[in-house]
């Protein structure tokens, strides 16, 4: 059996090696390492894939979130509603810009923002809502957008884990995750469903004026070369990463299908086991399974993780300490937030390997190992 990894990027690369190697070699020969033609070609292709008017590439997913908040003109002291159960970057950029993170609880099934909790948290100082499409499932965007529109609050989608996912509205309209709010943000970190071979990110929007502002902020605040209208940052996707992403974007739907097949196998393998709650699939969301995360009931996840490690099965406990309990947010009133669902889930979830190259032998070994532990 091939050694099991959480994400097997080497095997994925080997399948596209000729295309990738040739594309990288072309960049090396042309020496257009920054803002080469492939960067804009990739942006245009991603626009078409997502069904948005503008894609603005940047250096990484954290920058994308920061640029989004800067482009919206958020000011120190403004409140930004976001979940605590997510990678720290989502809340970190809020604090970095001297905004105030307002952590709200999540839906116990999807692990995404609870719209009821969001509405309760809105104050006159609320200037943005940042839902996170966690583990590959789109948050419940229809009620979130209704709340945001009612209060005239922009929505920034953190789509780092769900690119390629979709959300279906009650009227039958289907939109890609990240293409619903005022701005969508994503990461192309290598392990993402659409990952490059270094760091990379992008922002999406259908608002022409906002797109212009995002481009300006991401490029030192320049409206024209050497004319700086606002304080900006230097954040760009390099050409080498763009050529890799162009190749992998053409395969993204295949990659998602492969991930969903792994999830199907896990679901079937763990069906009927009372100690396990498998990932919920919301009817209005097409789950792309960036992670496959079990919820354990009456079983120790630390002991399971150790047991799996002994059987050469990697397993990850993502976000064991939610953001509101991190030291970095102590001065933002982190301890004052009452998030019972978040606090419970962060002690119960564990993620199993899931990627595009998994084979049946690996799946059988993982499933039998988990069952063996529970028995």
Contact of 295 with 266, CB cutoff 8 Å: no
Q: What angle do CA 48, 53, 58 make, to 5 degrees?
A: 85
CA distances (Å), origin 5, targets 49, 309, 354, 373: 29, 11, 8, 20
Residues taking part in catalysis: 192
Contact of 101 with 80, CB cutoff 8 Å: yes
CA 74 to chain CA mean position, Å? 22
Helix (H) or strand (E) holding 40: helix 37-50
DSSP string for residues in 203-261: EEES-HHHHHHHHHHHBTTEEETTEE-S---B---BHHHHHHHHHHHTTHHHHHHHHHH
How many residues would you count in the chain?
Answer: 375
């Amino acid at each position: 059996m091939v050694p099991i990894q959480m994400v097997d990027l080497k095997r994925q690369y080997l399948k596209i090696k000729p295309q990738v190697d040739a594309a990288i070699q072309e960049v090396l020969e042309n020496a257009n390492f920054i803002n080469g033609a492939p960067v804009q070609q990739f942006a245009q292709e991603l626009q078409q894939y997502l069904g948005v008017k503008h894609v603005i590439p940047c250096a990484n997913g954290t920058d994308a979130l920061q640029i989004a908040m800067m482009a919206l003109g958020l000011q120190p002291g403004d409140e930004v509603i976001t979940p605590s159960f997510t990678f720290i970057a989502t809340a970190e950029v809020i604090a970095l810009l001297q905004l105030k993170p307002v952590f709200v609880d999540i839906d116990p099934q999807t692990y995404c923002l609870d719209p009821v909790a969001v509405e309760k948290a809105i104050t006159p100082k609320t200037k943005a809502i940042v839902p996170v499409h966690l583990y590959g499932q789109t948050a419940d965007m229809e009620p979130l957008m209704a709340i945001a529109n009612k209060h005239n609050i922009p929505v920034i989608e953190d789509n780092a884990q769900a690119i390629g996912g979709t959300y279906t509205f009650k009227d039958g309209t289907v939109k890609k995750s990240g293409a619903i709010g005022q701005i969508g943000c994503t990461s192309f970190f290598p392990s993402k469903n659409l990952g490059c071979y270094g760091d990379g990110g992008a922002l999406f929007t259908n608002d022409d004026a906002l797109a212009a502002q995002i481009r300006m902020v991401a490029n030192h605040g320049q409206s024209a070369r050497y004319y700086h209208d606002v304080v900006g940052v230097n954040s760009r996707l390099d050409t080498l990463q763009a050529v890799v992403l162009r190749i992998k974007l053409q395969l993204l739907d295949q990659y998602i299908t492969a991930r969903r097949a792994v999830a199907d196998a896990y679901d079937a393998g763990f069906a009927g086991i009372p100690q396990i709650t498998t990932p919920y699939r919301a009817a209005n969301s097409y789950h792309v399974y960036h992670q496959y995360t079990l919820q354990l009931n009456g079983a120790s996840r630390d002991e399971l993780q150790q047991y799996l490690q002994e059987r050469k099965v990697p397993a990850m406990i993502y976000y064991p300490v939610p953001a509101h309990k991190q030291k970095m947010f102590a001065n933002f009133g982190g301890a004052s937030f009452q998030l019972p669902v978040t606090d419970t889930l962060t002690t119960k979830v564990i993620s199993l390997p899931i990627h595009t190259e998994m084979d049946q032998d690996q799946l059988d070994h993982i499933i039998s190992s988990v069952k063996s532990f529970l028995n």
